Chain A
Amino acid sequence: MKFHQNYNKKSIVLFSLAIVFVTIPAPNYNINSQAQIFYFFTLLFFANKPFFQSYNFKKVMKAIVLSFPFFISALGCFYSENKIEGFKYLLSTIPFLLFPITFSYYQLNKKKIEWLLNYFVLSVLLFIIFGFIKAFWFFNNNLGDFYFYDKFALLLNKHSTYFSLFIVLSIVILLNNWIEKNKFRLGEVFIFIVFTIALYMLSVRISFIALLFGITILLFFKTSKRVFLYSTTILTLLILIVFISPNMQKRFQKSNFDNGKIDDISFRLKHWEAVIETVKDESLFFGIGTKGDNKRLIENYKKRGLTAAYERGYNAHNQFLEFFLNQGLVGLGFFILSILMIFKFLINDSNYLGLCLFTVFITYMLTESILMRHSGIISYTLFLSVSLFNTFEKKKIIKKIILLNTRIDYLSMSQTLEKISNSIKNNQQIHHVAVNAAKIVALQKDLKLRESVNCCDIINPDGQSVIWASRILGKPLKERVAGIDLMQELVKKANTEGYKIFLLGAKEKVVSKVVSIYSKKYSPEIIAGYRNGYFTKAQEKDIAEEISDSGANILFAAMPSPKKEIFLSENKHFLKNVNFIMGVGGSFDVISGLTKRAPLWMQEYGLEWFYRFLQEPKRMFKRYLVGNTKFIFLILKEVFK
């Protein structure tokens, strides 16, 4: 009764989710399975709003991408010769489906996520200590030394690889806490030491590599370049020392081979070779089916004399090859696609902790089929669901970002529109410019262009490459606000708000076609006037005054760069009556139908330049291929500066 008074429904759901987190490293995986069931039931009974209310396209996409392994496995079940085992495995992959769905619905704030992750770290610590106590009990009773390697894992009652995965995830979370809070407490240092000792005791090689990758990414995005360089260098050296230490060397004894012993790496390579040959023999495109008949695989192990592999019926020991084995090229292709998309989502959301955690999982997948066991499935789905549907990062109030000598505004499309509307209402003037990779490259040397761009009141990122660059350089911009999109939105707004627009630029035929299109689509009333872009320097002043007197609130100048920037910059004061002036490049050509705009998917993947290049290869060659190469070079230079 008291519980009900003090805690609302949300608390119950959060509590049940916390139980799922803290039982992941528990010795008995049944406890975690029961915790998952409890969580789903609480969500079902205590959810505050109807289940599908909070969905949008992006969330659905993320949920589908994260559920790919489930769908791939379901597909493989239909043609697997071992259907019972296939469906049993499919049942174990249900978290791939349930967690993304529930997390896309059940959103958490940063504080709650921190709380959950910290409890996960605490539970990993407690289970390690539990393992230490058990090891001491055995040692004290002269029942054996259980302090190292698989023997310690036996006490943890988890496969050494998976427990090391939990430790690596915990270390990354702990380090992220330190960076975020910019301080560390004595207790956290103790936890860090315990984790490091436990990792050394388990001596799983891939764990150290994953730790190096995870921490490198975290430091790259979240610390200064100096801290990043020093820390990663020291970490790399430490890990090298660990690798050559006697304890680590002893861990990797030679594996059983029909003709004696074989070193660990050669064994693994032969093992993977056997997997690839099996798929080639069976079905390259669809594989043997989910948990399909592995007789051919065992034969291939035998052919190569891999005693341990055929006696114990090894799986592929590589998640990518595991999908290749079970679902062929189709499964592998979908899995790789899902990974790329998850990376894209995380980078787009500037979710750097999520990116680090995901990198840790991907690294583990190189030597272990982690999605074949409960521990791997649950940790992968849970951590990625939390990462993809929530943010770990602090919301910062940012106004402008300086990127390669360009001051770009931290504005979304809607915020830009709002700002423009306000300026029109208040009868103020805004000079707008949209910058793409080519323009940023050009203004590095063209100081006049740089000045004209940086003096603008609003500077939006025009190309996807600018957004990516901002993320790589650790200054993530909100979203792409392409000039043509902004123009279209403003024309729409002009119609609803009663603003007037002036169209300047392009050939007479083109600009008049644009006028005709807008007049038909909206109303002729929105057009204050138009003029082609063929005029001399001497005519500029008169044209500007003519536009100013036309009663236009908005001016779209469709001229090549840097002509339009310089024209608008130099004649801004003659255009005093126009509230919003912007250069729109070749937008009139696109609106009039003279050239086509790239499909949406190409725009989203930053391939719009390539589409334009295909349309006008001769004209665009220098601008895009040379310009984009220079742009990449500039970013790399900035990264290593």
Chain B
Amino acid sequence: MTKKLNKYLNFFLILIFCYLSLQFFNDTKKTFWNTNYDWKNIKNVKKAPDVNVINISSNILGFVNNEEIFLDPFLTYKLSLKSKSYFFRFSYSFKDNLSIELRDLIWLNNMPKELGSYKLESLDLDLKKGSGSTLTFIGNGLSVINESKYLKKTIRQLKDVNFYGDNKDLLGIDYIGNRKYSFKKAFEKREFIPSTQSYIVMIEPNEGFNEEFIYFCKLINNLEFKGAEKIFVITCPVFKGTDYNTIEFNKLLLKEGEVNKRIELININLLSKKIAGFYRDSVNEISKKGYEKIAHEISSKL
């Protein structure tokens, strides 16, 4: 009986492998982030001075060189040694005379194992643009640094979307804003905000909450004017030492969320209660898990 069944089972195995192969090529962008980069269209390759690498880890790269060097965190870099090349991006750097340490760094393909002299090049490595919908993230403060990258990354993995903006985060995803951004500044620079189908707004009030709220309303109107189909507004995270301004602003947002049907309000203080480890307690910041939860919430409505 088993001999007769062999051919059917072998056929089944072939089918399974065909299916899994297709699934692998479909899902690589979700599972393997580096396949999201447009490796075939690397642009603006500029040679930088050779560097002597003295420290390598999964998120730090330290080197010394004979001449002063400026590395722009918005670009991607390539270290080369013989035939091997290692691509990386970083968030910030520490300089001490001719030695530089790049921190909050990610290796896009491999991490070099040997210390020593490497060739260094800067380049533009964009994320592949798909046929999916367009989206702009507007943020400030902690929402544009550290773990916040997982919000945009997870949305991109879950949905076929293309982010737009004039800044790039560590992963190379475009966004609008910076650490000191505010609703007022966002509104003032509204012409730089691209027209996209959806927007995610996650800004903490840097000015007085009443004034910021006025600019919030103006910004929302402007985004609608740009043709926004959906605007996601994320409330500010509340920790032990959160200031009065933010707490009051959150209250205004919650009220607005109830009456204004044009916005999709994501109340993260409610979300945080649904899962353990939403916040990184020790540093008053939303954790990777927390950002992923928000991303799932937004993706389900996109």
Contact = CB atoms under 8 A, between A and B. Distances in A.
Interface string B85-118: 1000000000000000000000001100000000
B2 interface: yes
Interface in B1-24: 1-2, 4-5, 8-9, 12-13, 16-17, 20-21, 23-24
B16 A31 contact: yes
B1 A26 contact: no
Nearest to B31: A154
Interface stretch (A17-25, A338-346, A355-363): A17-25
Interface stretch (B32-40, B158-166, B221-229): B32-40
A144 B4 contact: no
Contacts of A11: 1, 4-5
B259 interface: no
B161 to A, nearest CB: 22
B9 A142 contact: no
A143 B35 CA distance: 7
B13 A123 contact: yes
**Most chain-B CB neighbours within 10 Å: which of A142, A157, A313?**
A142
A14 interface: yes
A28 B30 CA distance: 14
Interface stretch (A111-119, A236-244, A325-333, A418-426): A111-119
B270 interface: no
Contact of A28 (B20, B39, B276, B287): B20
B277 A112 contact: no
B9 A119 contact: yes
A49 to B, nearest CB: 18
Contacts of B280: 311
Contacts of B109: 142-144
A19 B13 CA distance: 9
Nearest to B19: A31
B24 A14 contact: no
Contacts of A616: none
A404 interface: no
Contacts of B287: 311
Contacts of B23: 27-28
Given A115-B2, A142-B109, A154-B31, A19 B276 contact: no
A134 interface: yes
A19 B110 contact: no
A130 B17 contact: yes
Interface residues of A, number: 38
Nearest to B275: A313
Contacts of A154: 31-32
B291 to A, nearest CB: 14
Nearest to A144: B109
Contacts of B9: 15, 18-19, 22, 119
A257 interface: no
Nearest to A115: B2
Contacts of B2: 14, 111-112, 115
Contact of A313 (B21, B24, B277): B277
A6 B4 contact: yes
A14 B16 CA distance: 18
B16 A26 contact: yes
A22 B13 contact: yes
Given A15-B9, A28-B23, A311 B277 contact: yes
A23 B13 CA distance: 9
B30 to A, nearest CB: 11
Contacts of A491: none
A109 to B, nearest CB: 10
Contacts of A142: 39, 85, 109-110
Interface string A293-317: 0110010000000000011110000
Contacts of B85: 142
**Most chain-B CB neighbours within 10 Å: which of A143, A145, A310?**
A143
A143 B20 contact: no
Contact of A15 (B8, B34, B39): B8
B20 A144 contact: no
A7 interface: yes
A115 B109 CA distance: 42
A126 interface: yes
Contact of A144 (B16, B24, B34, B277): B34
B16 A134 contact: no
A285 B247 CA distance: 44
A143 B16 CA distance: 26
Interface in B27-77: 31-32, 34-35, 39
A31 B16 CA distance: 9
Contacts of A130: 17, 20-21
Nearest to B85: A142
A126 B12 CA distance: 13
Contacts of A224: none
A58 interface: no
A81 to B, nearest CB: 12
A295 B281 CA distance: 13
Nearest to A111: B2
Interface in A83-129: 111-112, 115, 119, 122-123, 126
Given A26-B20, A141-B39, A142-B109, A10 B1 contact: yes
A145 B110 contact: yes
Nearest to B8: A15
Given A22-B9, A142-B85, A311-B287, A27 B20 contact: yes
B276 A134 contact: no
A176 to B, nearest CB: 18
Interface string B133-158: 00000000000000000000000000
Contacts of B17: 126, 130
Contacts of B35: 143
A10 B5 CA distance: 11
B20 A14 contact: no
B4 to A, nearest CB: 7
6 contacts: A7-B5, A26-B20, A111-B2, A112-B2, A142-B110, A144-B32
Interface of A: 6-7, 10-11, 14-15, 18-19, 22-23, 26-28, 31, 111-112, 115, 119, 122-123, 126, 130, 134, 138, 141-145, 154, 157, 294-295, 298, 310-313
Given A122-B13, A313-B277, 6 more contacts: A11-B5, A26-B16, A27-B23, A112-B1, A144-B34, A157-B31
